[in-house]
Structure 1
Amino acid sequence: MDIQQQILQLRDELNQHNYNYYVLDQPVISDYDFDLKLKELQALEDAHPEFADAYSPTKRVGGEITKNFNTVVHEHRMYSLDNSYSKEDLLDWEARVKKVIDGKVQFVCELKYDGASISLTYINGVLNRAVTRGDGVQGDDVTANIKTIRSVPLRLQGDYPPKFDIRGEIVLPFEGFHKMNEDRIEIGEEPYRNPRNTASGSLKLQDSAEVAKRPLECLLYNITGSNLNIATQFESLEKARSWGFKVPKAAILAHTIDEVIEFIEYWDVHRHNLPYETDGVVVKINDLHQQDELGYTAKAPRWAIAYKFKAEQVSTRLNEITYQVGRTGAITPVANLEPVELAGTTVKRASLHNADQIEKLDVRKGDEVFVEKGGEIIPKIIAVDLSKRPENSRPTHYIENCPECGTALVRNLGEAQHYCPNYNGCQPQIIGRIQHFISRKAMDIEGLGGETVALLVKEDLIRDYSDLYTLTKEQVIPLERMAEKSADNLINGISASKAVPFERVLYALGIRYVGETVAKKLAKHYKNIDSLRQATTLELITVDEIGIRIAESVVDFFASEKNIRIIERLKVYGVQLEISSEQLVGQTTILEGQAFVVSGVFESISRDELKKRIEDNGGKVSSSISSKTNYVIAGDNMGPSKRAKAEQLNIPIISESDFFKLLQ
């Protein structure tokens, strides 16, 4: 056997042993024998570099150094999931699904593993890239680190599509986590707090050899792409397993919502026997065509829901109530607690939300309180142990003045929160608005973080977000922890943000109630900041999904002379305050005021592209037929009940070719 054949045979053999051990959990040789074979392959590759392969099993040990993780836009957005906490929530979700879907609905139930979300891209059966979830639209390229995780196949087996993304969770099994902590304690280091955070932190280590030492695993659950030749979610799990991915076997196909609830009740008890952290069950509609019909909200798929297991609770002492000022001036009372372990983390603070919540709980300084993590993420106080209340206890008196600037607080009719009205003079509000402006979903200014913003404001280098564009390297270098390279990155990051599109700039301005989705709608409708600035409340509420509260907030924002001055400065500095000519190409108002329902499978265009065409031409896409629907665009396999409802309401049913004629 020649050297090349010997190398190829060893690679195939070691890849199979990796698969047997890390995916099937059925090793057929000892760790010692595996290591001997790996060393043999390493020696052959070192002696014959002409046969090098970036996907060799020897590359699993890492060694690549990544100083900066590049930001990558996901080809297919990674949505979050809507949460449910009760049987009633699930039944409500099923009812919403059945309003849209004709015929029988099946569900896939999968355990919700608590790790770090990842998206893997495979091209021609080879791992091309691994990207963290990030904000769902873009994440960090962590390919070098992911290659060291042995349950991630570098090359696939079987009949796989030429290109696809597969999503999953990077998890740290309990056994490996405890072993890591034992080793850290032995050398005098602080133990890690919990498996989830440790797994997440591992993905951003600069040295992939360090990642390779950690017993991480990758559990996969969702395939995304075009022309995949897969009909159902359950089939996709089976296919992924056959290609070499580690797909948890706990998933089931459920024919009724009662079977879904049985699955949840079983795992709510038995999850404690699993080797990984879990915090719930994800329920998905099985049929991918039905998933397509249901579509997405701005944040989550309508075809899936996460059932969260009941949160862990502990009791501890409330030492003090303090008050925080947010960027909008909203005051949030905070309970400062005696530190307590909860769901793998040390909790020292919990939100009390507002004055009504304090009054409802009758929570007081010195109380013994019960704390849980809402959705196992944000700690909150749920009750007071009155049996342990001190005799000298006094009711909590909510503050009347801003804790930062002393201004008298206001509380608008019908609102739960108190506000500090000192918009331009209260420092936490100023800092908060600038921190929002630079955030990832807004201007995404690289090299500038929240702490640096606070420092810039406190040093009087900036007073609002337009001042960022006047900063010089010489001004920022003297700041604490600011080296020359950091200063360059900050100034370059600010300059690069001038290319951020108008819809994100509009979100970045921090207009109250104008989130990402509303900013997109307003940008699309008004096209530039001047047209939006001139809009009246009555004009604004005619825009799709813009209510009176949002409209009044927008008008109030532009009524401020200071805000207008800031916007005029942003214009001078070159920030994008109008939709670019490239974005305007193909956009018309031909379909303005018309509502469409899209149903079925189409020949010449994907459903998503069809919806985009409708919206680009001023139309609105709805998920269900009503008297307000103008047209139903029908493809193959249109649901019979949808057709019957359209006919009953005398709504025209048109084909995709008829739709294109409308555009002409």
Structure 2
Amino acid sequence: MSLPESVATRAEQLRAEIEQHNYRYYVLDQPSVPDSEYDRLFQALQQLESEYPALIGPDSPTQRVGRKPDTGFAEVTHEQPMLSLDNAFSDDEMQAFVRRVQERLGLADVDRLAFACEPKLDGLAVSLMYEQGRLVRAATRGDGYTGEDITLNVRTLKSVPLRLLGTGWPERLEVRGEIYMPRAGFEFLNEQARAADEKTFVNPRNAAAGSLRQLDPSVTARRPLEFCCYSTGVVEGGELPAEHAARLQRLNEWGLKINAEMRVVQGLVGCREYYAELSTRRDQLAYDIDGIVFKVDRLDLQEQLGFVSRAPRWAIAHKFPAQEEVTRLKAVEFQVGRTGAITPVARLEPVFVGGVTVSNATLHNMDEIARLGVRAGDEVIVRRAGDVIPQIVQVVEARRSGNEVEIHIPEHCPVCGSDVERSQLVKRGKGRETVSAGAIYRCVGRLSCRAQLTQALIHFVSRKAMDIDGLGEKSIEQLVERDMVKSPADLYRLQIEDFLTLDGFAQLSSENLYNAIAASRQVELARFVYALGIPEVGEGTARALASRLGSLQRLREAEPLLLTWLPDIGLEVAHEIHNFMADTHNRQVMDDLLAQGIQLQNEAGIAVELQGSISLDRLLLRLDIPGVARTGAQALARFFGALEPILSADESLLAEVPKFSKKAREGLMRCLQTPEWVATAQTLEAQLLAFGMHWTFEPEAPTGGGSQPLLGQTWVLTGTLEQLTRDQAKERLLALGAKVSGSVSGKTHAVVAGPGAGSKLSKAEQLGVEVLDEATFMVRLADWESS
């Protein structure tokens, strides 16, 4: 067959592009496209070479595995090549693989053929050489024939034994496996990078590769890496089992980690069932996988099947739908949220990723757009894992044409036309305020902006807020569009006849909705506070405000500094709450709601633990006097005994205070000469007296019931609970005083883990946090609630 010039040109283009990707992936550790894109290029070249064998040459990427590694590490020549695997992207391709195995082995019944199945970890393939049971060398896969010596780095991994356990290991044993980064560790690493204003990693695989190729092993030691073995290479001076799975079990006995999901199944049916079962749990695993590796289990049959140029005939990787894909960013549109935040949304050329077709992705804010350097018209890498909202993780800059357009925030709200203002970050400390530009832009139109009104109403009626059943998003949109509702209070003015005018409502559904709105007038204080939609106040913070302050009126009056004495409320959140409550429009909305018959349940006095809890020295510390720390505040409190004498003191009197330094004295004098500071101090003390938090207030004796044995503790729920729903478990923990968080940290007291627990469970184990199963949790709940 003659070789058309266009085919030769296309093959050369494919080779050049693949080699460039190899260089970025293997040498620079900076992959420019997702694996799925690389696989398509590789398959296209394979297809061309299959149709036109004359194209095949020794320098074609199909005839070797990759490029030679960077020269930053010593080279290691693999005694047995570390070849890659062929891929199956569909059930038909998997079926064809099994059929080829059957034909080459001459089997009449392939259903009895055993396959070892293992998740295909998304990490970096490495080789560990043990001699006399001791680790002597670790090397990367490299191009399959030559890798890099990373022994010093690998020795820092606790999952890699420096000496094998037990006895009976061969004199020389090469263990092959994957070094990867669990999701929890990846998230923690990126959190640290963001906090230090450093570049974040694109995905766990990229992070693992970058961590292993550090020239300083101490850097690798600080990275959350794991090793999991999947095969052996050189074996000398000893014997291993004759089946792949049994061989891995033996390695496990010698102290090497293997994947707990590994199974041995029979025939194609068993392979299909394992693939289907694990694909449903993919996103619940503590680590990233991109498919399943299926291997003929018997090693004598593996030897009989042999190899092609770059892969064994006895194994295949059946890939899952890609979680990353390349597509084009057509445009960026801006949406308006309930607090007026203007959020950029990427409109994409539709692409199939993570099992669904994606046409939109989040861009978070303008700072994220600047960090990515993304422009309209760019080709971008989109990632979607499980139910996570698709996001753009990288720009493919090499494919830019020069016609891409920079993205700018609109000057006016795209919904109502009001001005768009950039938020400000105010850092307060030691009597000074530092103002800087925030990441959020907001429409100033508030409830006159239909978008904000619609989103505010959707939040207001939601299940965890006012819980008005039957009032969905579509109905709210109709009410807003027809000017029937202009604030949350208008919902309580609607009649049955109003609902009959809406699409989809008949007499019974209208009556039901009217009754649901009427029933919501009786609402717990915590739910009402959450329903108001105060910026930065979620369900947990709303509950803390309600349970500690006890009434809406105290919340409306509370000064920012007073709010910071409540659990988990910092100064910035305190100012958000205070500003919301001081806003004339918001006060009108609250008054209007109360006028419509809202009756707040569970209002009470200030929480017992806050009564009389703020001493004079604690008040002075909270006033942020330059140079005055805890010792100085205690010295002032002992000497004066009350705030007013301090406010009227002069420098000569302050000089008489024992253990009160000159620096502290100068700082306090500057404050005393500032009328605003003096007014703040007097207002704060007056409010402590009014609320019963002042040190002169005598706390009430605790009464029976209402015990909160988990006060101050942070709990996390993960996985599927069978006796309770997650919401029910959360409610009971909150009632006992606990804070229920969505993430695990060093401050987490305990984690309740049901079946399917994923990265949160892994992080808890990594941090040494107590983990309870549901049965143990239920027993403890009963004990706490009965005490």
Which structure has the bigger radius of gyration?
2
Give the shorter-chain TM-score range.
0.3 to 0.5
TM-score by length of 1: 0.46
TM-score by length of 2: 0.39
